[in-house]
Chains A and B, each alone.
Chain A
Amino acid sequence: MTHDEIRATVLRVLGEIAPEADLAALRDDVDLREQLDLDSMDVLNFVVGIHGALGVEVPEADYPRFTTLAGGVEYLAARRAGGAPA
Chain B
Amino acid sequence: MPILGADMTAGTLIAWRVRPGDAVRRGDILAEVETDKGLIDVEAFVSGVVEKLLVGAGATVPTGTVLALIREEAGAPALAPPARRKISPLARRLAGELGVDLATVTGTAADGAITSEDVARAAAPARGRVDLARMRQTIGTAMARSKREIPHYYLATTIDLARALAWLAEENSRRPVIERLLLGVLFIKAVALALGEVPELNAVWKGDRPARSAAVHVGVAVSLRQGGLVAPALHDADRRGLGDLMRGFRDLVQRARTGGLRSSELSDPTITVTSLGDQGVETVFGIVYPPQVAIVGFGRVVERPWVVEGRVVPRPLVTATLSADHRVSDGHRGGRFLAALDRLLQQPERLG
Contact = CB atoms under 8 A, between A and B. Distances in A.
Contact of A44 (B176, B226, B250): B250
A57 B176 CA distance: 8
Contacts of B180: 44, 47, 60
A37 to B, nearest CB: 7
B278 A39 contact: yes
Contacts of B279: 39
Contact of B182 (A44, A48, A61): A44
Given A37-B225, A41-B253, A59 B184 contact: no
A59 to B, nearest CB: 6
Contacts of A29: none
Interface string B261-296: 000000000000000011100000000000000000
Contact of B225 (A18, A45, A51): A18
Contacts of B141: none
A19 interface: yes
Contacts of B176: 57
B173 interface: yes
Dominant SS among interface residues on chain B: helix
A33 to B, nearest CB: 8
B226 A40 contact: no
Contacts of B169: 60-61
A38 B278 CA distance: 8
Contacts, number: 43
Contacts of B223: 39
Contacts of B90: 19
A58 interface: yes
Interface residues of A, number: 19
A57 B249 CA distance: 21
Nearest to A58: B177
A58 B177 CA distance: 8
Contacts of B253: 41
Interface string A50-82: 010000011111000000000000000000000
Interface string A12-37: 00000011100000000000010001
Interface of B: 90, 93, 169, 172-173, 176-178, 180, 182-184, 223, 225-226, 249-250, 253-254, 277-279
Interface of A: 18-20, 33, 37-41, 44-45, 47-48, 51, 57-61
26 contacts: A18-B225, A19-B90, A19-B93, A19-B225, A20-B225, A33-B278, A37-B225, A38-B278, A39-B223, A39-B278, A39-B279, A40-B182, A40-B278, A41-B184, A41-B249, A41-B250, A41-B253, A44-B180, A44-B250, A45-B250, A59-B173, A60-B169, A60-B173, A60-B180, A61-B169, A61-B173
